[in-house]
Amino acid sequence: MKYYILLLLGVAFWSGNYVLGRFISSDIEPLQLAFYRWIIVCLILSPILILKYKKLYLAFKNSPKMLISQSVLGITAFNTFLYYGVQTTTATNALLINSSTPMIIVLISFLILNTSISKTQLLGIILSTIGVLFLVLKGDFVNILEFKTTSGDLWIILAGFVWALYTVLLKFKTDDLRPFEFFTLTTFIGTTILSIPFFIFSSDFSLSFIEKSEVLYSLLYIVIFPSILSFYFWNISTLKLTANITGQFTHFMPIFGAIFAYFLLGERLETYHLIGFSLIILGIYISVLFKKLKS
């Protein structure tokens, strides 16, 4: 049960990443946000890098391809693509696209790990996906006719595939490192790689964005919660459970998003929220917890 709670916390923090990334998108470039986010995380993690330098170096020497690939997927690419996406797409579109992530994880897991999925798991994924659609379409599936694609949607789709691949490939994490050591090393590698496109393509290298308190506070939240805590919770839970199980917990994002909007923005909770919540929770219970409790 411990790892399910960690997953819930991680997903809750990540839902704030979507909201705040969209909220400050007009004040800071996507590459800026991604780069400075991870630079600050590197500064926070630098004592671990110094203390564990020999161990981290040996782990990299033994498994360079795995560590570089995970660094590029999880650190360099995922959030950068996400921030480019939320610049031009709507929150509704992002949530609709994000709802496909569990199925992408199942597909990639089958192709790479030959992992099968039971009928019960499939039913649960379908139910929770319907719940997500019910939420973002406000209880009326006719609203899907108003769905319009933008370049941002393509970035969100790409981010979803990147995250699904990262999650599945955690199976091959080197045993030489503990989860937080793995996160520390991949963060430094990924940020180093991210600095290349940042210095080549970014049009603004100033720190003028910190003059706006809402941007500064949003960045601090993103650094502490989605960056450090969510990644650690997700990694350790995926290693203990399976990619198929952790992937489905992304369906909790719109639930937490609606709750945050209720308390922070004063938005009302409607009947369709409750129906969507119920379907998501039922779907995850059927595919994940029901089997565990039954055993």
- Whether the pLDDT of residue 55 is over 90: the answer is yes
Which one is predicted more confidently, 248 or 164?
164
pLDDT of residue 174: 84
CA 264 to chain centre: 22
**283-293: string of b/e by CB count within 10 Å (b at 16+)?**
bbbbbbeeeee
Assign 134 to helix, strand or coil. helix
Instruction: Break the chain into its structural domains and give their ranges.
Output: 2-117+147-241
Which one is predicted more confidently, 273 or 224?
224
pLDDT digits (tens, 9 = 90+) for 188-200: 999 999 999 999 9
Q: 25: how many CB neighbours lie within 10 A of its CB?
A: 18
Which one is predicted more confidently, 31 or 256?
31
The pLDDT confidence band at residue 15, using thresholds 50, 70 and 90, is confident
Please tell me which of 60-69, 89-98, 207-216, 244-253 the model is most confident about, judged by mean pLDDT.
60-69
pLDDT digits (tens, 9 = 90+) for 214-237: 899 999 999 999 999 999 999 999
Q: How far apart are CA 215 and CA 23, in angstroms?
A: 9
pLDDT of residue 264: 66
Classify burial at 61, counting beta carbons within 10 Å of its beta carbon; exposed 0-12, middle 13-18, buried 19 or more. Answer: exposed
Q: How far apart are CA 32 and CA 27, in angstroms?
A: 10
Contact yes or no for 83/227 (Cβ under 8 A): no
pLDDT digits (tens, 9 = 90+) for 114-145: 887 778 888 888 888 888 888 777 777 777 77
pLDDT digits (tens, 9 = 90+) for 63-114: 999 999 999 999 999 999 999 998 887 666 677 677 778 888 888 998 898 8
pTM: 0.86
Contact yes or no for 255/132 (Cβ under 8 A): no
Q: How far apart are CA 191 and CA 120, in angstroms?
A: 40
> Quick one: residue 28, left, alpha or beta (phi over 0 = left, psi -120 to 50 = alpha)?
beta
Average pLDDT of the chain, as a whole number: 87
